[in-house]
Structure 1
Amino acid sequence: MPSSNSASEQTAWLEIFLLWFAGISAAMQFAKFSVSYNELLTYYQAGPTLTGAAISVVGTIGLIFGVTAGLIAGKIGYRKVLIGALILGASLSFVQSLLPTFEIVMATRVLEGFSQLGVVVAAPTMIAKLSAARHRSITMGLWGTFFGVAFALTGLFGKSLISHFELSGLYFTHGLLMGGMAIALIALLDKNEQRYHSGSVASNEPYFKKLGKIYRTPQTLLPGLVFVFYTCTLVSLLTYIPNFIESDSLRATMQVILPLLSTAGTFIAGTLSQYAMRPQRVAQVAYAGLACGALVLFSNLSSAMAFCLVVGQMVLFAGLIPGAALAMIPRLARNSDEQANGYGLIAQLGNLGATVGPPSFATLITAYGLNGLVGLVWFICAMGSVFAFMAARIER
């Protein structure tokens, strides 16, 4: 059995693309409720707060159990966890397509959190193992786009499905997609679980001792710390920046363009990490570019078009960060267990950032306007750069 440091001679592109699509189908667990938010409000009459909670509750599972999922996946087997998570997700979508009571819907959303977490821990670990060293940063950059692609596809086709087949049609189609991915991966993935491990010796350490070790291990912790400041920032930029654009048509255009720029940045980061510079340096460049864009915003641009161009530059550079953070994990990790733990920690800290970031930005924007947003962006860029620098120092 080769060590984690030895590269596969060939990249299994078909399996990698299927794993990427599996990630997209898992991210659609967020996107399908986001795109159908107004219809859910009308159908269930549960009010904005509870209906909004139905969207976010999926992420709270990753916030609580992210690292635990990495430990479990390493013990049970990544292939088993991935396929089980997809089957669970498909089953829950089929239940939702029956439009049961809102209480049952909320219960399915909690369980979908476990399904989503299983995919985002197992799939990237398997992608790293199925990638040759010369392609690994590219494939991790590809993986990093799954969330943005899921929202783009759901936004493109979701409303049409709802208009033709109502809520049931949207959720049933998602169930078919996840179920189809499970069947395809059952057929194509190597059934030998050791294919996705690095041959590390299983540890009999107590659970909480393992957990503490993960948080104390720089190889697993630092990519997550680079990532958490990205999630603090991007969701807030996409949410609040359009409110500073006075033109309705320009605001609507930017709401489409900005997520695409973020997704493009993530894939660009994978390419840069593979061929131009280490992912730690890509993260440093990304945070520097984001800070420079914020500096330009601080000058109070008078032109709406110039404002939009600067914001687009900021979101593009912000999009580089997840691609860089994900590419760091297989580069720094010493075995597949550390890789899975790193992805679990990214899931946990990413959800933490998405939870803490928006209210923090909202508070400062309310108090100081655009200058409050700029100040927080600068602080976040400084912290992210520090952790990217530390990650560069520990690379073997």
Structure 2
Amino acid sequence: MQDTSPHAPTPWPLILLLWSTGLLAAAQFAKLTLTIGPMQTLYDGAPVALAVSGVSIIGIIGGAVAGYLVARIGARKAVLWAVATSAVLALGQGVAMPFWAFMTTRILEGFGHLLLVVALPTMMVALAAPNDKSVVMGLWGTFFGVGYAVLAVVVPPVEAWGGIRAVYVGHGLLLAALFPVLWWVLPRVMAGASKIPDMISLHRTLYSHPRYFAPGLGHGIYTTLFIALVAFLPPVLDAMWLTAMMPLANLSGTFASGFIARRVAASHLSIFGFAVAAVCFALLAVTGSAALALLAMVATGITAGANFAAVPELNARPQDQARANGAMAQVGNLGTFSGTPLFALVAGSLWGLVGLSVAICLSGVIFAGYTYHRARVSTPLG
């Protein structure tokens, strides 16, 4: 059994295994994004695009509950249950079915995704040595972008049902193969916490204490930007090569933030990233420079990683980290869900896109900055 004492060295092979499990969680979104064209042909007339957000719906509704649930049953059980159910659902999606049934599997898949994005970082930070916690959370912050990038590389162009089936069944087989490995190596981290409160008390507790809420607020503001900018900014700049480069720039900032957070408080670093991004976006409106678009993505990546690193900075106990990660999942899914339609209102206009981006980044500086300040001066939990 893995040593989880405070003085134990960071078990990097296990950390990388947990991060790799996160890549398969990201694939729950990416697999449909990469097959959406043939899926629209397969389900002609059905709202296939809504199936991409089907996984987010559970995160929006149940993010807060997931944090308490993981705190109660333990991160090990949460990860194992999530991987097992996600494998079954992915394999099931390889069977021809009507759209309503497919949409049902997508919504159910959201439960597994939600448990993974709460339990995996909670376990990773609990296993990390104190000096490595910010680096580990910076690494975790890359899981979504890397998961998308890896799947985009390994999945060939899909045109018919046979290709769709191969993508979904392949995802399920990877999850199924991972399950016995995780069963064998995962330690017990944080189980037997107090009873889950009712929904109203649960949300009141989670969102009334800034140590729980501040990282989630910063993360939600960030997620409003990421997917929408990758979708809409390259065509406006007439630089479609940015579609591949912008996520890489963002990932570089996210990974670097973990190392920077060893010397700079993550709660300060998040606001710094928002401020630098706002300046870059403002200059982009004047110059139209693709280089400034990439610099802005690096800055927002720093913010993304800093928000994850702020969870252990503000919350010492694994139970509290799980609850903060629940808020991250809930507000982050809300940002992902709302960002694309919000930016679609100004798509096609460089001034519209960067103006909205500047406004969102400044809201991060003001509102996330204020909430982080309240968190730093508040009484520690526990």
Aligned to 1:26: 25
Query: What does residue 222 of structure 1 align with?
Result: 214
Q: CA deviation at 1:204?
A: 7.0
Does residue 66 of structure 2 align to residue 69 of structure 1?
Answer: yes
* 1:26-105 paired onto structure 2 within 5 Å: 26-47=25-46, 50-105=47-102
RMSD over aligned CA atoms reads 2.2
SS in 2 for 1:299: helix
1:15-39 Cα offsets, whole Å, 9 max, x none, are: 2111111111011010001101112
Give the whole-Å Cα distance in 2 for the aligned partners of 1:54 and 1:204. Answer: 30
Aligned-partner SS, 2:8: coil
Out of 342, 348, 359, the residue aligned to residue 379 of structure 1 is 359
- Relative distance call for 1:91 and 1:376 in structure 2 (3 A) is same
Equivalent-residue separation in structure 1 for 2:197 and 2:147 (angstroms): 38
> Which of the two has greater helix per residue?
1
One-letter amino acid of the counterpart of residue 71, structure 2: G
Q: Residue in 2 aligned with 1:304? A: none
Quote the residue 1:264 is aligned against.
252
TM-score by length of 2: 0.92
CA distance in 1, matches of 2:302, 2:200: 34
Give the match for residue 354 of structure 1.
336
Question: Contact 1:232–1:354 (CA<8 Å) still a contact in 2?
Answer: yes
- The DSSP-based 3-state class of the residue aligned with 2:305 is helix
CA 1:206–1:58: 2 relative to 1, 3 Å: closer
CA contact (8 A) 1:125 1:196 kept: no
User: Where in structure 2 are the equivalents of 1:165-204 lying within 5 Å?
Assistant: 166-190=163-187, 193=188, 195-196=189-190, 202=194
Cα distance, 1:337 vs structure 2: 1.7
Q: How far 1:323 sits from its partner (Å)?
A: 0.5
CA-CA distance at 1:62 after TM superposition? 0.4
Mapped partners of 1:388, 1:139: distance in 2: 23
Aligned to 1:254: 242
Tell me which stretches of 4 or more aligned residues in structure 1 moved more than 4 Å: 160-165, 203-207
**Corresponding residue for residue 118 of structure 1:** 115
**CA–CA distance in structure 2, aligned partners of residues 206 and 344 of structure 1:** 15
Give the direction of change, closer, same or farther, for the CA distance of 1:390–1:214 in structure 2 (3 Å limit).
closer
2: CA distance, partners of 1:254 / 1:243: 9
Matched to 1:377, the amino acid is S
Corresponding residue number in structure 2 for 1:12: 11
TM-score normalised by length of structure 1? 0.89
On the 8 A contact 1:11/1:135 being kept in 2, the answer is: yes
Q: Name which of 320, 327, 335 aligns with 1:345.
A: 327
* Cα distance change of structure 1 residues 73 and 313 upon mapping to structure 2, 3 Å threshold: same
Question: Which residue of the other structure, out of 289, 292, 298, is the alignment partner of 2:276?
Answer: 289
- What does 1:289-328 align with in structure 2 at a 5 Å threshold? 289-301=276-288, 307-328=289-310
> Are residue 394 (structure 1) and residue 336 (structure 2) matched?
no
Q: Which runs of 5+ in 2 are unaligned?
A: none
CA contact (8 A) 1:8 1:130 kept: no
Cα separation, 1, equivalents of 2:346 and 2:244:
25
Identity percentage over the alignment?
31
Deviations 1:158-190 (A, max 9, x none): 126878952111111101111122221101012
Secondary structure of 2:165's counterpart equals helix
Deviation at 1:45, TM superposition (A): 2.2
* Change in 2 beyond 3 A, CA 1:163/1:187: farther
Asked if the contact 1:236/1:358 (under 8 Å) is kept, the reply is yes
Determine the C-alpha separation between the residues in 1 that align with 2:196 and 2:151.
43
- The equivalent residue for 1:242 is 234
Name 1:278's counterpart in structure 2: 265
1:108 paired residue number:
105
- Amino acid paired to 1:38: G
- Listed as ranges, the matches of 1:141-152 within 5 Å are 141-152=138-149
